[in-house]
Structure 1
């Protein structure tokens, strides 16, 4: 599941807690968390707790991008060691179903 996510600096230390919080954030249209969907590309945090989240969306014109962004900031903001959160959306590389975890594939009914 988190094989596709790169952790940098202090984010490596807190990898499990960060993932747990992000798994609580669901894509409102698909009802699957953003980690199992493969939407999170990188997490980078400095020693002061400033966290940078590099992510993508399933489509460029996702109408719920602001909702997902707010949910990410809320979920990660509950962690004591996180001071600030910046999210950055990229479409390089573009999301495709190869980024889905096994759970994500099962939940969406995708075989293979």
Structure 2
């Protein structure tokens, strides 16, 4: 079983401790780290931190959160449609199509506590931009006024295929 001290030692090697807001290690070895919202080079830090923590013996699930400002709840009617529209702003940089029209979003739920759950996939399990896209999806959901938190689940079941691309974009890509 991994210890909190082992986790803290790895984290100190990757990011300045002034940017680490909290570290939790539960009895199953699951690690949750919260970083300051102003952590420099956050994309690089997220990838390196995930990679280095994954090398520790006994580590379970690794969750890396970023601190965020909690906005006062606004009178915005949260809906799955609103979330999907916002997620159209996340463009897969390799393909040039947003994650919704690309068919990467499998499920969206707006929970009563105003937490938004998104189940999604990548075009391939080895996609080098996975962490970047997941973070971009989380950021866009959290930009929606009234959203309390975002939970993004990555799955490869079922695997993505080009059949999941929206009809509009299939035409644009010449797949029809």
- TM-score using structure 2 length: 0.53
Question: How far is 1:19 from its partner?
Answer: 1.3
Provide runs of 4+ in structure 1 moved above 3 Å: none
Q: Does the aligned pair in 2 maintain the 1:32–1:107 contact within 8 Å?
A: no
Which runs of no fewer than 5 residues in structure 1 stay unpaired?
1-12
Counterpart in the other structure of 1:99:
164
Structure 1 residue 73 displacement after superposition = 1.2
SS in 1 for 2:137: helix
Greater C-alpha radius of gyration: 2
Matched, 1:32 2:101: no
Structure 2 residues without counterparts, runs of 5 or longer = 1-77
| 2:91 alignment partner, SS class | coil
Which residue of the partner structure matches residue 175 of structure 2?
110
**Corresponding residue for 2:120?**
55
SS of 1:71 mapped into structure 2: helix
Q: CA RMSD in A?
A: 1.2
What's the TM-score once normalised by structure 1's chain length?
0.82
Question: Displacement of 1:27 after TM fit?
Answer: 0.6
How far off is 1:51 after superposition? Answer: 1.4
Aligned partner of 1:85 among 150, 171, 174: 150
Aligned length: 99
